[in-house]
Amino acid sequence: MTNSLFEPLRLGDLVLPNRIVMAPLTRNRAMHGTDAANGMMAQYYAQRASAGLIISEASQITQQGQGYIWTPGIYTKEQIVGWRKVTDAVHAAGGRIFMQMWHVGRISHVSLQPGGKAPVSSSAEKAMSKTFIESGFVPVSMPRALDIEEIPGIVRDYRNAAQNAKDAGFDGVEIHAANGYLLDQFMKNGVNKRTDSYGGSIENRTRLTLEVAEAILRIWDKSCVGIRLSPAHVNDAKDNNPQALFNHVAEKLGALGLGYLHVIEGTTGGDRNSLPFDYQALRSAFKGVFMLNNGYTRATAEDAITSGKADLISFGRPFISNPDLVERLRRDAPLNPLDPTTLYGGTEKGYTDYPTMA
């Protein structure tokens, strides 16, 4: 029997009414000064509650994990309370929402770091990348390598954030291990130059990601934990054998029994074929619920589901400008155009004011 994009899927105790997922989307609308979610964010997510599943924008697990101004955190009581407003609003609208947990590593700026210190990474390798601070887009700062004695603290920060997400009323969590952020910086040998037990072999470079997953599984049931991966070269993070690396990590994550694997094909918002890569090899290695992302249309998403290439498809930018994206896709209706000038920071304009169908 073939499945359809508009048929339900069971994820543990959750029944997703369709296979359309709202991908995590950084919008920089958190409260200035506290980085807590707010009422405007609650309205934004509730408007999109018809998605089979919402994955929240990436949320830093500590101040050290922050890489962009006005992104929400999940490490203070105020931030837990702020996110509870969001989850309550989504649940009242009939939706389901997971939190994406984030440590950016080296994709940060000293102005965002505690005490103006250097960001941290697997190695002291500066990214040829930019970040967004109060004055606009600027080059990222030079990082320092994490001492091996600091790594258990990073794992503990993820575990604490997972508990905070539970306290904030989320239905589950997604580990952000993609797009050249901290976990990806450990996995890819273009960044990771370590010579200790977290560097060198694929087993060593994936160790931190697996330790983080295991720590979170002590807080959440395995069906409530997903992870996002991006084999392609993003934020100046690349590997010289990505197929072997990601086949290994998918197999190990599958053995842990994670709820789903969320894979970005190619470069987010860009070329889906930027890397010669067999994404279906990850589906074979993982066994669990498999989600694909990047540039899908109604036709290509339906084809991926009916052919069995994926169980879920996540949509990013179309959800920004179409709060009722599920219904528009169902009817094959035209989509609202996106206003790129309102993506990052700002007010309700370009955030909660996109119209639904008449």
Q: Which residues are catalytic?
A: 181
Q: How far apart are CA 190 and CA 237, in angstroms?
A: 6
CA angle 275/290/310 to nearest 5° reads 80
Q: How far is CA 32 from CA 23, 73, 109, 134, 346, in A?
A: 24, 12, 17, 10, 11
Q: How far apart are CA 220 and CA 198, in angstroms?
A: 25
Q: Are 52 and 7 in contact (CB under 8 A)?
A: no
Q: How far is CA 4 from CA 92, 99, 140, 262, 290, in A?
A: 26, 26, 43, 19, 15
> Three-state SS for 315?
strand
Q: How far apart are CA 344 and CA 334, in angstroms?
A: 24
Residue positions counted in the chain:
358
Q: Give the E-state strand segments of the chain in sequence order.
A: 9-11, 14-16, 20-22, 53-55, 59-60, 97-102, 120-121, 130-133, 136-139, 144-145, 172-176, 225-229, 260-264, 289-293, 312-315
Q: Are 180 and 186 in contact (CB under 8 A)?
A: no
Structure tokens at 315: 């949509």
